[in-house]
Chains A and B, each alone.
Chain A
Amino acid sequence: MEPIRYVERLNAHYARQGFPPYRWTVNEAAPLTPLEKPLAACRVSMLTSGGVSRCASLAWNPDARDDLRLDAIARDAPSDDFQIHDSYYDHRDADGDLNCVFAIDRLRELVREGVIADVAPRLWSGFMGRIYTRRAVVNEAAPALARELEKDRVDLFVLVPA
């Protein structure tokens, strides 16, 4: 099948539901930081924006707007100790197998196989729901996360929007 045209379809749905028009981000160019070492020497971290939290943590607001909360997830967190609250996508598969959206078991297996060096001490869950305050993300939340990644000496960061 052809890829779904989400921008077109979501604009139509949002308009019908009376949401303010969503200002989709459009960028003309992208920075590129080269990977300086082979994968086998890399420490990898991962972010999900799929409303994923540990069972003992707060649930995300499934209808979140402008929620810039960011959860650090311990690298050894068991994949069956998570809850998902997000009304913006169908997470029934991920409810049963977190790896559908946040492949942390697969990431750890790649360490054991020697494909990557290790998983960073902290994985991340945040930026879920609709975010209208782009400036707060660009000026505050994203740079703050980047500093945390630096502290953890992350070599490569995998981003997984739900």
Chain B
Amino acid sequence: MVEEVGIPTVLVSTGRDLTAQVLPPRSVFVNFPMGNPFGPPGDVALQRAILLDALRLAETATEGGALVDLPYAWGSDFAPGFERMAEAMAR
């Protein structure tokens, strides 16, 4: 909708499968927990890097649906935390 009025968009995603099927015009994927698309609290350098990677993609992407995997690692397995959260949802 926004692209259709002529404003480029870029999405910062933590859900690779979701983003791949929605196919926004441009996305960067960070393999971090939902709730941390820009990284851990207080990590100014990493937050800045992820935001900048997203902005740069707006300059470089040439095809709609670009999905770029960013190289940052969370450092621990957050899948169990997600499962607990999903289990508790809407109780």
Interface positions of A (Cβ within 8 A of B): 1, 3-10, 13, 17, 19, 24-35, 38-39, 44, 50, 63, 87-94, 96-97, 99-101, 103, 106-107, 109-110, 115-116, 138, 142-143, 145-147, 149-150, 154-162
Contact = CB atoms under 8 A, between A and B. Distances in A.
Nearest to B79: A4
Given A100-B39, A158-B10, A106 B44 contact: yes
Given A34-B8, A149-B7, A39 B59 contact: yes
A66 to B, nearest CB: 14
Contact of B2 (A28, A94, A101, A149): A149
**Size range of the interface on B?**
35 or more
Nearest to B81: A90
Contacts of A142: 1-2
B13 to A, nearest CB: 7
A115 B37 CA distance: 21
A83 B59 CA distance: 33
Interface string B11-22: 111111110011
B35 A101 contact: yes
Interface of B: 1-18, 21-26, 29, 31, 33-42, 44, 47-48, 50-52, 54-56, 58-59, 61-65, 74, 77-79, 81-83, 85-87, 89-90
B53 to A, nearest CB: 11
A13 B86 CA distance: 6
Given A17-B89, A157-B2, A100 B35 contact: yes
A33 to B, nearest CB: 4
B82 A158 contact: no
B89 A13 contact: yes
A106 B54 CA distance: 12
A5 B79 CA distance: 10
A5 B17 contact: yes
